[in-house]
Copies of this chain bind each other. A is one copy, B any other.
Amino acid sequence: MNVNQSDKSPVCIGLLGLGNVGTGFVESIRANHDLSEKLIIKKILVKDLTKSRSLAIPDGILTSNISDIIEDSDIDIVVEVLGGEFPAAEYIEQAFMAGKHVVTANKEVVAKHGSELARTSHEHNRQFLFEASVGGGVPVINALVRDLAANQITSIKAIINGTTNYILTQMTDYSSGFSDALTQAQQLGYAEPDPANDIEGIDSTYKVAIMASLAFSGSILVDSIYREGITKLDARDFRYAHELGYSIKLLAIARRITGEVEIRVHPTLIPEAHPLAKVDGVFNAVYIEGDLVGPLLLQGRGAGPEPTSSALLSDVLAIAAAPSGDHAQLNPVLGQQPIAIRPIEQLLSGYYLRMQVLDEPGVLHKIASVFANLDISIASVIQKESDEIIGTAEIVVTTHESLEADIQVALKTLIQQDCVNNIGACIRIDL
């Protein structure tokens, strides 16, 4: 006998959504004897009652009417896996008002409405848990909320979107072009038919907003997060980066800098010795630095029905195990005060620039003078392939730590030089 095995009656769940994740959630409970005894799925909200499903659902469970769940007083916990902003956000609010706890995997809702929903849950003394919204089965939220509670978090660097990491890994390992790698990701089901949310970095902004909100105790406006996707990356840049000792990853970064927070999502060159450089394929990883703990790396499967169900169920079981009393105290603290976000122009970073120039004497001197005039310190210059027929060469410049605003001026000045045909890439380096 476990000493704290509970004699509580089973917990009733209302599940919103029966797509991939919802189906995985039901299957995960059914496959586990202990969970089946503790948790009962009383109702499931679906759009279409008549749709054929891979899963046999007993009569009376499916409903297309949200009120059947909100008004069912047997239901203790609403598990929301609808995805998308609306109606999910409204349903969650209704659930709190009806006295139910809510567990969600919905990063968009938590990122955009987390603060107000946290307030509502608090007013109704209910729990609002969202471990599954960031990093799938990787316990990122609990790490920030609970395990590092005594730390001042100084920075978070994360590979938090499996689709883009799969694509970038293909581009690294097989020198694939972006569209080939995307097509392959789509064929394997790692990328959506409309992949914009992933490849443009939007999904990562939701997740970094949630992490930063918890780490820095305030609310973050998603639209205020600087964002660049991976669509402009070229296979050459992965080759050149490797020659320079770097990997290219789509990083979500949030750092505390003297009263402000820097928060951004963009492709980044990271040294190959950094733990994040070795996180490949669909894996997610979050690298957190705290004043006491130092660096902490959490790595695992960031998506998929089973890892997501692992996180959803850990939240459900935490609610089920909690003593009665002041439930709201167990909520992650999603701050209400907006956090001041540092403009990207003030970023200090290394930079990797690839440009096509005329292959003639004096070109390097002209380019170097552009950087020198702006006090930008060059770390390396490498001449890559040259094209004798059209008389051009490709050069790659990396800088020491420089101010983003200066780099932007440098780019504008460079492109105006007669000797510069085009600038093929400008990628930040995490030094």
Q: Report A's interface with B, CB cutoff 8 A.
A: 1-6, 28, 31-32, 35, 118-119, 122, 131, 137-139, 142-143, 146-152, 217, 275, 278, 285, 290-301, 306-307, 309-311, 313-314, 316-318, 321-331, 333-337
Closest-by-CB residue of B relative to A318 is B146
The distance from the CB of A330 to the nearest CB of chain B, in whole angstroms, is 7
**Contact in complex: B278, A293 (CB < 8 Å):** no
The distance from the CB of A42 to the nearest CB of chain B, in whole angstroms, is 18
**Contact in complex: A314, B148 (CB < 8 Å):** yes
**Contact in complex: B325, A323 (CB < 8 Å):** yes
Closest-by-CB residue of B relative to A138 is B296
Q: Please pick, from B119, B150, B311, the residue contacting A314 in the complex, using a CB distance under 8 A.
A: B150
**Contact in complex: A28, B150 (CB < 8 Å):** yes
**Contact in complex: A297, B300 (CB < 8 Å):** yes
Tell me whether A142 and B150 are in contact in the complex, defined as CB-CB below 8 angstroms, given that A4-B331, A294-B307 are known contacts: no
- A313 and B290 CA atoms in complex are apart in Å by 13
Q: Which 8 A-B pairs have the closest CB atoms?
A: A323-B325, A150-B313, A137-B293, A139-B147, A292-B310, A296-B300, A297-B299, A293-B310
- A166 and B204 CA atoms in complex are apart in Å by 35
Tell me whether A137 and B296 are in contact in the complex, defined as CB-CB below 8 angstroms, given that A2-B333, A4-B328 are known contacts: yes
**Contact in complex: A147, B314 (CB < 8 Å):** yes
Closest-by-CB residue of B relative to A294 is B301
Tell me whether A292 and B307 are in contact in the complex, defined as CB-CB below 8 angstroms, given that A131-B147, A149-B313, A329-B321 are known contacts: yes
| Chain B residues near A28 (CB-CB < 8 A) | 150, 292
Closest-by-CB residue of B relative to A304 is B294
**Contact in complex: A3, B122 (CB < 8 Å):** yes
- A32 and B1 CA atoms in complex are apart in Å by 41
**Contact in complex: B330, A3 (CB < 8 Å):** no
The distance from the CB of A38 to the nearest CB of chain B, in whole angstroms, is 10
The distance from the CB of A350 to the nearest CB of chain B, in whole angstroms, is 23
The distance from the CB of A340 to the nearest CB of chain B, in whole angstroms, is 17
Closest-by-CB residue of B relative to A141 is B147
The distance from the CB of A80 to the nearest CB of chain B, in whole angstroms, is 17
| Chain B residues near A337 (CB-CB < 8 A) | 1
| Chain B residues near A314 (CB-CB < 8 A) | 146-150
**Contact in complex: A150, B317 (CB < 8 Å):** yes
Closest-by-CB residue of B relative to A152 is B32
Q: Please pick, from B309, B318, B331, the residue contacting A292 in the complex, using a CB distance under 8 A.
A: B309
**Contact in complex: B150, A3 (CB < 8 Å):** no
Between A118, A295, A298, A318, the greatest number of chain B beta carbons within 10 A of the residue's beta carbon is seen for: A298
Tell me whether A297 and B297 are in contact in the complex, defined as CB-CB below 8 angstroms, given that A32-B150, A313-B149, A317-B149 are known contacts: yes
| Chain B residues near A291 (CB-CB < 8 A) | 31, 306
**Contact in complex: A297, B296 (CB < 8 Å):** no
- A328 and B143 CA atoms in complex are apart in Å by 22
Tell me whether A323 and B326 are in contact in the complex, defined as CB-CB below 8 angstroms, given that A138-B296, A301-B295 are known contacts: yes
Q: Please pick, from B122, B300, B327, B330, the residue contacting A295 in the complex, using a CB distance under 8 A.
A: B300
Tell me whether A299 and B300 are in contact in the complex, defined as CB-CB below 8 angstroms, given that A32-B152, A147-B131, A149-B313 are known contacts: no
**Contact in complex: B147, A142 (CB < 8 Å):** yes
| Chain B residues near A317 (CB-CB < 8 A) | 146, 149-150
Closest-by-CB residue of B relative to A309 is B292
**Contact in complex: B313, A293 (CB < 8 Å):** no
- A226 and B148 CA atoms in complex are apart in Å by 33
**Contact in complex: A325, B328 (CB < 8 Å):** no
| Chain B residues near A336 (CB-CB < 8 A) | 1-3
Closest-by-CB residue of B relative to A217 is B2
**Contact in complex: A142, B137 (CB < 8 Å):** no
| Chain B residues near A300 (CB-CB < 8 A) | 293-297
Closest-by-CB residue of B relative to A328 is B4
The distance from the CB of A141 to the nearest CB of chain B, in whole angstroms, is 9
| Chain B residues near A146 (CB-CB < 8 A) | 139, 142, 314, 317-318
**Contact in complex: A4, B122 (CB < 8 Å):** yes
- A322 and B316 CA atoms in complex are apart in Å by 17
**Contact in complex: A310, B3 (CB < 8 Å):** no
- A307 and B316 CA atoms in complex are apart in Å by 29
